[in-house]
C-alpha cells in the first residue's frame, strides 16, 4: 500500500559520515471540495456512539502526512541508526486552509530515533520518541482498532524460536491524549497456525495514575491473518478489556474500575479477484458493559468495491450500516456512495492516486437524531445541522487521494 521514493543526500550531520545514505520521503494526501445538498459545505455522516464512519465520499477535511526518514550510520555489525519525522496537516472543509485554530492544525506526529537490524536482538530494533507503532486498521472506515502508537521507547521484533517479541513503554498513545499515563504493550507474533495463517497476541497494561478515583486496567488482543483466503486475504481480531483497558486499541478512561468491560470482534476481508475487480468488506461488533447502566452495543457492517472498465477508469461503490444500542433507543445510520474514478496508476483496488467524483446518500432514524442533538449539536445527523429536521441527506463533490 505504501511505497517510498529515495532522494539521495550527501551531507554531514552532527559529524556523522552520511555520504551515500538515502533520505526516504513518503507520505499521504487527500483533498477536495464538497457540498451538502447544495446548501453550503459538505457535512459528514457518523452515528453517535460509533467509533468510525465509512469514508468514501464522507470525509470533510484537507489532510496530509509528509514523512522523512534518514539512515545516519551503518555499523560494522550491519545494524543501522536512523531518525524519522512526520508532519501532519489538517483543515476542515469550508474554512481557509491555514492549518491552525479551531478548524485545523499542523504538528509533528512522529519524531523518533531507531537502531534497527541489531544482531544481539536477532534482527530486532530499539527505538525512542513519538512514533506510529503496530497500527492495525480497516481502510474503508479508517478504524484503528488495535493501535499501539506511542510517545515512549521499546524493543521491537526480537526474534527467538521463530517468534517475534516486542515491548513498548509509553506515556501517551496519541497526540490527543491530554494526561500522561504509563502504558505497557507486550506482543508476540509469528505463531504459524495453519498454511498461510499467522496468529499474533498482545497485552496492554495501563498503570494506575497518581490521582484520586483512578484505576489501572488491561486489554488483550488476539489477531489471526490468513493469506490466500477465497481469492483474497482475511483478518480476524478478538479484543477484551477492563477498566481503562476498555479503550482496547488505546488508553481508556482511568476513572473506570475493573467492573467496566469491553468486548470487540473485527472481521476484514480483502480481495482482488481479477485485475479489474477488488474490494474490502468489514464486520465490527463491540459490547461495552458499564455498572452504571450505560451499556452500549455497536454493530458496523459494510464494504467498498471497485470495478475498472479501462486501465485508468474505474467505478467505486461503498455501502455501510452502523447501529448503536444504548439507553434512549437503538440508533441506526445507512450510508451509500457511488464514485466514478480516474486512477492513472492502474485498475487495482489499492492503486493510487485516485481522482473521484462522488455522490453520497445517508438516512438515519429518530434515535440517532436525538443522540446527535445531545452529543453533537450541529452535526449532520442533528436537527440543527445541514439537513435540518429531515432524517436523510446527500453530499456530492470531488476528491483526490494519494500515497507514496
Region 160-186: mean pLDDT is 93
Tell me how far apart the terminal alpha carbons of the chain are, to the nearest angstrom. 8
pLDDT tier, 177 (very low <50, low <70, confident <90, very high otherwise) = confident
Q: What is the pLDDT of residue 8?
A: 38
Q: Which of 181, 168, 182, 172 is nearest to 109 (CA)?
A: 172
The one-character DSSP state at 370 is: H
Q: Tell me how far apart the alpha carbons of residues 102 and 90 are, in angstroms, rounded to a whole number.
A: 11
Helix (H) or strand (E) holding 325: strand 313-326
Distance (Å, whole) CA 177 – CA 271: 35
Q: How far is CA 286 from CA 174, 201, 246, 296, in A?
A: 22, 19, 11, 8
> 9 or 145: whose pLDDT is higher?
145
Would you state the pLDDT for residue 38? 67
Query: Average pLDDT, stretch 358-380?
Result: 97
Average pLDDT for residues 189-205, to the nearest whole number? Answer: 97
Spatial separation of the C-alpha atoms in residues 286 and 252, rounded to whole Å: 15
Q: Which residue is it, cell 456530492?
A: 396
CATH code of 23-101+310-404, in short, is: 2.40.170.10
Q: Rounded to an integer, what distance in angstroms lies between the CA atom of residue 25 and that of residue 67?
A: 6
Instruction: Express each pLDDT in 338-368 by its tens digit.
Output: 999 999 999 999 999 999 999 999 999 999 9
Q: What is the mean predicted confidence (pLDDT) over 32-48?
A: 91
Asked if pLDDT for residue 213 goes beyond 70, the answer is yes
**pLDDT tens readout for residues 88-130:** 999 999 888 889 988 999 999 999 999 999 999 999 999 999 9
Which residues are CB-neighbours of 234 under 8 A, at least 6 positions away?
A: 225, 226, 267, 268, 269, 270
pLDDT value of position 5? 40
The pLDDT value recorded for residue 249 is 86
- Lowest-confidence segment of 12-26, 172-186, 250-264, 287-301 by average pLDDT: 12-26
Sort 184 into a burial class: Cβ within 10 Å, 0-12 / 13-18 / 19+: middle
Q: Indicate if the pLDDT at residue 18 is higher than 70.
A: no
**What's the half-sphere exposure (Cβ side, CA atoms, 13 Å) at 203?**
6
Q: Can you say how many angstroms the Cα of residue 72 is from the centroid of all Cα atoms in its chain? A: 29
Average pLDDT estimate for 259-270? 98
* Residue 7 scores a pLDDT above 60: no
How confident is the prediction for the chain on average, in pLDDT? 93
Pairing of strands 143-147, 135-138: antiparallel
The number of residues making up the chain comes to 404
User: Residue 353: is the preceding peptide bond cis (ω within 30°)?
Assistant: yes
Is the model's pLDDT at 77 over the cut of 50?
yes
Across-strand partners of 261? 242, 289
Instruction: Provide the pLDDT confidence category of residue 20 given band limits of 50, 70 and 90.
Output: low
H/E stretch holding 337 reads strand 329-342
Rounded CA gap, 324 and 68, in Å? 40
Amino acid at each position: 500500500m505504501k511505497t517510498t521514493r529515495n532522494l539521495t543526500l550527501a551531507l554531514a550531520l552532527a559529524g556523522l559520515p552520511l555520504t551515500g545514505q538515502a533520505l526516504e520521503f513518503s507520505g499521504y494526501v487527500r483533498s477536495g471540495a464538497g457540498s451538502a445538498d447544495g446548501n453550503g459545505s459538505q457535512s459528514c455522516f457518523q452515528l453517535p456512539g460509533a467509533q468510525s464512519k465509512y469514508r468514501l465520499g464522507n470525509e470533510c477535511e484537507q489532510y496530509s502526512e509528509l514523512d522523512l526518514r534518514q539512515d545516519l550510520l551503518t555499523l560494522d555489525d550491519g545494524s543501522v541508526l536512523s531518525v524519522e519525522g512526520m508532519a501532519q496537516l489538517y483543515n476542515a472543509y469550508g474554512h481557509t486552509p491555514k492549518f491552525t485554530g479551531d478548524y485545523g492544525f499542523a504538528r509533528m506526529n512522529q519524531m523518533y530515533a531507531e537502531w534497527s537490524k541489531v544482531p544481539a536482538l536477532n534482527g530486532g530494533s530499539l527505538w525512542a520518541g513519538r512514533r506510529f507503532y503496530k497500527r492495525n486498521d480497516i481502510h474503508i472506515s479508517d478504524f484503528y482498532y488495535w493501535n499501539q502508537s506511542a510517545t515512549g521507547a521499546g524493543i521491537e521484533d526480537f526474534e527467538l524460536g521463530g517468534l517475534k517479541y516486542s515491548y513498548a513503554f509509553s506515556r501517551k498513545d496519541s497526540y490527543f491524549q491530554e494526561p500522561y499515563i504509563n502504558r505497557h504493550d507486550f506482543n508476540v507474533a509469528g505463531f504459524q497456525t495453519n498454511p498461510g495463517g499467522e496468529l499474533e497476541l498482545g497485552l496492554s497494561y495501563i498503570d494506575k495514575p497518581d490521582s484520586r478515583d483512578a484505576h489501572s486496567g488491561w486489554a488483550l488482543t488476539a489477531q489471526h491473518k490468513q493469506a490466500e483466503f477465497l481469492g483474497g486475504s482475511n483478518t480476524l481480531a478478538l479484543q477484551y478489556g477492563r477498566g481503562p483497558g476498555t479503550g482496547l486499541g488505546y488508553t481508556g478512561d482511568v476513572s473506570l474500575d475493573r467492573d467496566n468491560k469491553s468486548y470487540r470482534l473485527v472481521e476484514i476481508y480483502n480481495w482482488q479477484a481479477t485485475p479489474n475487480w477488488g474490494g474490502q468488506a468489514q464486520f465490527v461488533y463491540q459490547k461495552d458493559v458499564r455498572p452504571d447502566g450505560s451499556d452500549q452495543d455497536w454493530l458496523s457492517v459494510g464494504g467498498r468495491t471497485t470495478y475498472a472498465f479501462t486501465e485508468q477508469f474505474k467505478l467505486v461503490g461503498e455501502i455501510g450500516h452502523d447501529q448503536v444500542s444504548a439507553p434512549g433507543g437503538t440508533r441506526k445510520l445507512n450510508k451509500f456512495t457511488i464514485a466514478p474514478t480516474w486512477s492513472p496508476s492502474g485498475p487495482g483496488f489499492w492503486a493510487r492516486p485516485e481522482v473521484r467524483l462522488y455522490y453520497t446518500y445517508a438516512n438515519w432514524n429518530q434515535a440517532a437524531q436525538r443522540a446527535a442533538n445531545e452529543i453533537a449539536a450541529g452535526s449532520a445527523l442533528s436537527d440543527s445541522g445541514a439537513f435540518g429536521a429531515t432524517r436523510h441527506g446527500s453530499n456530492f463533490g470531488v476528491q483526490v487521494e494519494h500515497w507514496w
